[in-house]
Every structure is written in C-alpha cells, then in structure tokens.
Amino acid sequence: MAGGSELLIRLGVETASAQKNIREVNKELKSLKDQIALANTATGNYNKTSQGLSQQLSLQEKSLEALNTKLKLQKEVYEKNRQELEKRKDKLEELQKTESENTKEIKKAQEQVEQAQRQLNQANRDIQKTEAEIEAMNRTIGATKTALQEVEKQAKVQAIQQWADETSNKFKAVSKACTSMAMALTPMAMVISSAFKSAFQSASEFEQGLANVQAVAGFTQEELSQVRDEAKRLGQELPITAKDCADGFGYLALAGYDLEQQLASIEPIAKASVAWQEDLGTTSDLVTDSLSTLGMEVEDLGKYLNVVSQAQASSNTTATDMLKAYIQVGGVLNGLNIPLEESASLLGIMANRGVKAQEAGNALSSVMANLTTGTGRAGKALEALGISAFDSAGNFRGMEAILTDLNKAFSTMSEEEANYYKA
C-alpha cells in the first residue's frame, strides 16, 4: 500500500477560498481565547479587581464581535452551498429527462448532488455551533458585568473601612516584652501566611472556574455542587488540580453538554489529558469539537479516545494534532461513513510524511472531495482507470479499497504511464 499512500499525499489540494475569511476569524478568536486564559491566570487577585474584570470584559466583547463576524461568513458559505446544491439538482433533473439511457452520467450527477448536500449540512452544523458559542459568550459577558458591578461596590465599602483603620489607634501600644517573642515567631508566621495565601489563591481560582461553568451551562446550585464534588475527586485521584477540572467542565459546557453528559465525560478526558501530557482545558475543547464534527455522541467518547491514543502512539504525531485534524475533516468522514479506525490510519500515514494537524485535515478533506465528486484531477484519473469510489449500492468503498485498486492498475503500466496518473 506504499504507492497508494504516496499518492494520497499528492492528491491534497488547497481548501476552498470561501473558508479563508473564516479561518482568519478563527485565528483571531484563538488569540482572544488565549488572552482571556492568560488574564484568568494572573497572579494574585488581579482578575478579581475592577481593572482585571474590565480587561476580561473587553476581551469577551471582542470575542463576541468576532463570533458574530464568523456567523455572518458562515451564513454566506451556507448560501453558496445552497445555490450549488440547487444547480446540481437542476443538472440531475435535466439529465434524467434528456439522458435517460446514459446511466453513467446520471449516477455521476447523483453523486455530486449528495456531496453538495453533505457540504450544506456541514455548513448548517457550523452555523448552529457558532450560534451556541454566541449565546454562551453573551451569558459570560453578563456574569462578568455583574461581577464588575459587585467589585466596584465593594471598593467603596473598603475605602470607608481603610479610612477607619488609618484613624484608629487601638493597637499603637505594643508591649516591649512581646517584641522578642514576636520576632521569634515571625519566620514561622511567614511560612504559615504563605501557605494560606497559596491555598486561598487556588481555592479562589477553582471557585471562579465553577462560576464560569454555571454562567455558561445555567446550572442550579445543586447541579453545581455535583460538578464541584467531581472536580475535587479527580483533583485528588489524578495528577491535576481541581481548577484544571473546573476548566475542563467549562469547555464541556461550551460544547452544550448537559450535567449528565459532563459528569460522564470529564473523567475519561482528564485521564487522556494526563496520558497525552496536555492541559485538561485544551484537551476538553479539542475532544468535544472533533467529536461533534465526526457526528459522534458522548457514548462514543471512550472508543474515540482509545483510537486517537493508539494512532498517536504508532505514528509520528500527537493526540492533539490528531484532534485538530479531525476538526477539519470530520464532517467529510462522517458524510462518507468512513470508519474511525481507517481515518486514524490515514492521518497517521500523513503524519509520518510530515503532514499534521489542521494541514492534514484540510488535505484529506480535499482528497475525499476529489475522489467522490469526480470533478478534480483525481476523480478524472479514477474514471480513466475504470475505478469507482462507490460500490453498486452507492456507498463509499473506503480509501484502502480504492488505493488497492490503484496499485493494481499501476502494476500493469510502464513507469512513465504510472507517473502520469500519480502526478
């Protein structure tokens, strides 16, 4: 299958130009997301101050603006896909009227209609996901505004208290006899103070993470209590912190998971993040996005994580890069009903040849489009060689079967002929 795998790499083409602007917006959103994460990890209680909350609010509002731009672009892509589908349907209808005897042309037109329908469905799923992200961001902005108002209110109270403290002289008289004892206890007091400060900061960050989860998911206090208990349990059993777990829950909430789904998903994702040496928040984000793109359910999570782990262990790639590739190509794989194990093998082969992450997903998506629509060079080459990507029932035969047929065809050709089709 070596010759076929080499052909697979060469079949990659540039992604559709209509997605270029969306990719640029995604880059901006990723940058804003990283800035928000950095602001949330600020030392001390900066992210709880008026200035810190104002900074978060500004970044969140910029993210909302970018999401609205992304939604507008996705709707433009959807409209283009809808128009393309109508054109394909019209062409098929015309062929059925005028070319009733030419079943080959009609079948090709039917395949093109199905491909256009899959692209339209994917565009619709993209729109629904972005709309959910906009709704979640609006809730987060509302929570941040409420927190900012509370901090500003507390600041006024603290200013009054500070004035009272500064004018008080209750503790001016300190006994000289206690001075030496106080000095002796100072080192111990500093150690204890440092320990309490660290513990308070960790607890504060954990509670802020839970507050974000509640803001996004809309949990009741009872439901949030279940999330808190599970995060603490995992923080004790795994080499991660409770705050990491809260971040993981946050991304599950952004993905639209309900309480039951979050509680069922967090432990396997947490264990995977430890095995992959990746932070739980990032792992949770990539797993939920790629799982959704593949059309898989929460019940498939265990199988999905195992397949990704096995693929990254047996090829020159990381689990994170595998997930990023699936985010790009998952919709196509789902539309063609390609088995997860087969797609993981293909991405592993591409990784071994230096094509990884989003680049691998885009390349494999383009390959599939060329092979299944019959309009690109790859599709025309297959037609010339008498090889079909679909069986008699109209089902996709799979990359392994197609590449096997190609190798058989190449074995009967001269080197010059084979190179012509491989080019």
Residue 332: in which H helix or E strand, if any?
A: helix 319-335
Q: What share of the chain is helix, strand, coil (3-state, %, to 5)?
A: 80, 0, 20
Task: Please tell me whether residue 181 adopts helix, strand or coil conformation.
Answer: helix
Say if CB 232 and CB 191 are below 8 A apart: no
| Tokens linked to 366 | 């383009």
Say if CB 246 and CB 231 are below 8 A apart: yes
* Residues with Cβ within 8 Å of residue 131, at least 6 apart in sequence: 71
Q: How confident is the model at residue 98 (pLDDT cuts 50, 70, 90)?
A: confident
pLDDT tens for each residue of 51-70: 888 888 888 899 999 999 98
Phi and psi torsions of 293, nearest 5°: -60, -35
With a pLDDT cut of 70, the percent of the chain lying above it is 80
The Cα–Cα gap between 273 and 261 comes to 18
How confident is the model at residue 39, as a pLDDT?
72
More confident residue, 385 or 276: 276
Q: In degrees, to the nearest 5, what angle opens at C-alpha 191 toward C-alphas 178 and 238?
A: 155
More confident residue, 289 or 396: 289
pLDDT tens for each residue of 321-379: 999 999 999 999 999 899 999 999 999 999 999 999 999 999 998 888 877 876 667 77
How confident is the model at residue 185, as a pLDDT?
40
Q: How confident is the model at residue 145 (pLDDT cuts 50, 70, 90)?
A: confident
- Tokens 């809309």 sit at which residue? 218
> Is the whole-model pTM more than 0.95?
no
Mean pLDDT over 393-406 rounds to 83
